[in-house]
Amino acid sequence: MVFQCLIDKKRVSALKKAILKTVKPGDVVVDLGTGTGIMSTFAIDAGAKKVYAVEADAGLCETFENNLKSNGYKGKIVLIEGDATQIKLPEKVDVVICEMVATGLIDESQVPVMNNVLQYCKPGAKIIISRMQNFVELVNINDSFYGHELQVIQYEYPWDRAIRSTPLSEKYMYAEIDFSKKNDGGVDVEVPLKINKSGKLNGIRITNKTFLADGSILGSTAAYCMPLVLPIDPVEVKKGEALMLRLQYKMCGGMDHFHLSLRKHETIMERGMPIAKSLQANI
């Protein structure tokens, strides 16, 4: 995955541009989950006085150390081997680079890592991945594989030419996360979704929009926040129907902590309260 991130030109170019525009000469920078260390080198190229590069994987750390020497960055980048959710930095920083993001913030460690490092930020510190919006929509999933129908969690990779999901509802923003502030990471929301196309509803699709420190926006790439399609028990829906989707999960807690429920939502009002009809849907 580290290599996949490195060769993803759209992802790397967007982050490089944001780093070069944000980091100022003399800045102290931290790069969390540094991997190959490419983001740390961009920060030095932008004029950073020092970069603390944090990585938990011992093998990556060894490779990174060798690359620092061969590329002339030794002494400018300080490699710290450790868990970024618990790491202690020796000084306050001006800029934070942290790309430990997965679609919907369901996996990876962005939230707990940022919650930890905020205590080491100077007032007005810049966060390269500043803010994220999460979206959900109801879809029909193409679950045909080699002559069999399989209910599996799917990612929509840009190189996969198969149509993995067809939207049946509008798209709804269900969460917005500001990484410059501490987040409890809890998601428990009810999302009203109107059916725009009749058909077999058998999945939900989660996507993201990321706002970077230079004001640019990053969507999905080959190695960043690919659209995530989750299967549910199939049900026929009709155009014009209203459904209520409830999403519950702990950000960065993994799929084991992800739950959803779905019910029909009538527009009929009784004593000022909407009447809801039960419609079971299990992930």
- pLDDT per residue over 64-74, tens digit each? 999 988 998 88
Residues 139 and 88 in one domain: no
Per-residue pLDDT tens for 189-225? 999 999 999 999 999 999 999 999 999 999 999 999 9
Phi, psi of 241 (to 5 degrees): -70, 155
Q: What is the mean pLDDT of the chain?
A: 92
Q: Which of 51, 75, 99 is the last residue of a domain?
A: 99
- The answer to whether residue 125 sits within a structural domain is no
pTM recorded for the entire structure: 0.91
Q: Which of 79, 99, 119 is the last residue of a domain?
A: 99
Residue 109 DSSP code: S
- The answer to whether residue 228 sits within a structural domain is yes
Overall domain count for the chain: 2
Residues 137 and 81 in one domain: no
The two structure tokens encoding residue 275: 């009447």
Residues 143 and 233 in one domain: yes
What interhelical angle do 38-45 and 9-22 show, nearest 10? 30
Which pLDDT value is given to residue 163?
Answer: 85
Residues 147 and 273 in one domain: yes
Spatial separation of the C-alpha atoms in residues 254 and 123, rounded to whole Å:
32
CATH code for the domain of 215: 2.70.160.11
Catalytic residues: 99, 108
Say if CB 142 and CB 200 are below 8 A apart: no
Its domain, for residue 229, covers 131-278
Residues 145 and 92 in one domain: no
- Strand 172-178 with 129-141, pairing: antiparallel
Residues 148 and 234 in one domain: yes
Residues 137 and 271 in one domain: yes
Which pLDDT value is given to residue 209?
Answer: 97
Which pLDDT value is given to residue 266?
Answer: 61
Which pLDDT value is given to residue 89?
Answer: 97
User: Which residue ranges in the chain fall short of pLDDT 50?
Assistant: 267-283
Residues 224 and 273 in one domain: yes
The backbone region for 179, taken as left when phi is positive above 0, alpha when psi lies in -120 to 50, beta otherwise, is: alpha
Residues 58 and 167 in one domain: no
The two structure tokens encoding residue 122: 């100077």
Spatial separation of the C-alpha atoms in residues 163 and 181, rounded to whole Å:
38
Residue 46 DSSP code: T
